[in-house]
Amino acid sequence: MLLQIQNLKKYYQSQKAVDDISFQISRGSIFGLLGPNGAGKSTLLRMITGIIHPDSGKILFEGRPFDASADTNAMGYMPEERGLYKKMKIGEHILYLAQLKGLDKNTAMERITHWFRKLDMGSWWDKKVGDLSKGMQQKLQFVATVIHEPSLLILDEPFSGLDPVNADVIKEQIYELAAKGTTVIFSTHRMEQVEEICDHIILINKGKLLLDGSVNGVKNQYKENKYLVRADNMPKLDNHAFQCLATKNDTATYQLAPNTSPNELLQALMNNGATVHGFTEQLPSLNDIFIQLVKNQGAQRTFETV
1 strand-pairing partners: none
Torsion angle in degrees (nearest 10) through CA of 260, 266, 270, 271: -10
What mean pLDDT is predicted for residues 45-63?
93
DSSP SS3 for 75:
strand
Report how far residue 84's alpha carbon sits from residue 140's, in angstroms, rounded to the nearest whole number: 9
The β-bridge relationship of strands 56-61 and 208-214 is unpaired
Report how far residue 3's alpha carbon sits from residue 152's, in angstroms, rounded to the nearest whole number: 9
pLDDT of 36 above 90: no
- Minimum mean pLDDT among 78-82, 159-163, 170-174, 202-206: which range? 78-82
DSSP SS3 for 226:
strand
Residues 61/50, Cβ–Cβ less than 8 Å: no
Q: Which amino acid is at 80?
A: E
Within the chain, strands assigned E span 3-12, 15-25, 30-34, 56-61, 64-65, 75-78, 152-156, 183-187, 200-205, 208-214, 226-232, 242-248, 251-256, 275-282
* pLDDT score at 69: 83
Mean pLDDT of the chain: 89
Cβ neighbors of 289 (< 8 A, separation 6 or more) are 203, 211, 218, 219, 222
109-160: pLDDT as tens digits: 999 999 999 998 888 888 898 898 888 889 999 999 999 999 999 998 888 8
Burial of 304 (0-12, 13-18, 19+ CB in 10 A): exposed
Domain boundaries, the chain: 3-219, 224-282
Predicted TM-score (pTM) above 0.85: no
Of 3.10.580.20, 1.10.3720.10, 3.40.50.620, 3.40.50.300, which CATH number belongs to 3-219? Answer: 3.40.50.300
Under CATH, which number does the domain 224-282 receive? 3.30.70
Q: Which amino acid is at 245?
A: L
pLDDT of 306 above 50: no
Report how far residue 139's alpha carbon sits from residue 158's, in angstroms, rounded to the nearest whole number: 9
Residues 25/202, Cβ–Cβ less than 8 Å: no
Report how far residue 280's alpha carbon sits from residue 103's, in angstroms, rounded to the nearest whole number: 52
pLDDT of 258 above 80: yes
* Phi, psi (deg, nearest 5) at residue 237: -100, 130
223-243: pLDDT as tens digits: 999 999 999 998 888 888 989
